[in-house]
Amino acid sequence: MTKGDEIDDDILPVADLLKTVWQGRLTLLVITLLTVIIGLTGRMLFSEYRSEGFFQFGGTIPMVKKTSDKEKEKEPSPGIKLADYKRYAAAFKSNERFTDFMLEYKLEQNPSTSALRRSFSSREGISKWIEPVFPFTKLDAKELLEDSKDGNNNVIGLRINYDDKNPKVAQNIVGLLGRYTMDTIVYIIYSDILRFKHIEITAKITTLDNEIIQNNERLAHFRRSGDDLKKIVARYPDAASQASRQIVSVSDETARYLPPVTQLMTTEVQASEATEKIHKARREQQQNILLREYYDKAKILVDNTKSGEAILRGLEPVKVEVFKNKNMEDDTVKEVFNQITIDNQTAISQYLEKSRFIAGPSRPENLSLRLSVTILFSLFIGLILSLFVIFGRKSLNNK
pLDDT band at 250 (very low <50, low <70, confident <90, very high): very low
Taking 90 as the threshold, does the pLDDT of residue 284 lie above it?
yes
Taking 80 as the threshold, does the pLDDT of residue 78 lie above it?
yes
Taking 50 as the threshold, does the pLDDT of residue 192 lie above it?
yes
**Which residue would you say has higher pLDDT here, 285 or 73?**
285
A 10 A CB-CB count for 239 gives 14
DSSP 59: S
Cα distances (angstroms) measured from residue 11 to each of 6, 21, 37, 42:
9, 16, 36, 41
Taking 70 as the threshold, does the pLDDT of residue 304 lie above it?
yes
pLDDT for position 12: 47
pLDDT for position 1: 46
pLDDT band at 247 (very low <50, low <70, confident <90, very high): very low
**What is the rounded distance in angstroms from the CA atom of residue 281 to the CA atom of residue 271?**
15
Say how many Å lie between the first and final Cα of the chain, rounded: 29
Taking 70 as the threshold, does the pLDDT of residue 3 lie above it?
no
Taking 80 as the threshold, does the pLDDT of residue 43 lie above it?
no
Closest by alpha carbon to 54, among 161, 194, 206, 184? 161
Cα distances (angstroms) measured from residue 37 to each of 40, 134, 226, 376, 388:
5, 44, 106, 12, 19
Taking 80 as the threshold, does the pLDDT of residue 241 lie above it?
no
**Which residue would you say has higher pLDDT here, 78 or 72?**
78
**Using only C-alpha atoms, what is the Rg of the chain?**
40
Mode of pairing for the β-strands spanning 157-164 and 130-133 = antiparallel
**Mean pLDDT across the stretch 297-326?**
91
**Which residue would you say has higher pLDDT here, 332 or 33?**
332
Segment 379-396, tens digit of pLDDT: 788 788 877 877 777 777
Closest by alpha carbon to 388, among 12, 16, 20? 20
Q: What's the mean pLDDT when you consider all of the chain?
A: 80
Segment 10-23, tens digit of pLDDT: 444 767 777 776 77
pLDDT band at 342 (very low <50, low <70, confident <90, very high): very high
**Mean pLDDT across the stretch 71-85?**
78
DSSP one-letter string for 290-349:
HHHHHHHHHHHHHHT---HHHHHHHHHHHHHHHHTTS-TTSHHHHHHHHHHHHHHHHHHI
pLDDT band at 49 (very low <50, low <70, confident <90, very high): confident
Q: Under the phi-then-psi rule, with left for phi > 0, alpha for psi from -120 to 50, and beta for the rest, what region is 66?
A: beta
Q: What residues are paired with 52 via a beta bridge?
A: 161
pLDDT > 70: what percent of the chain?
78
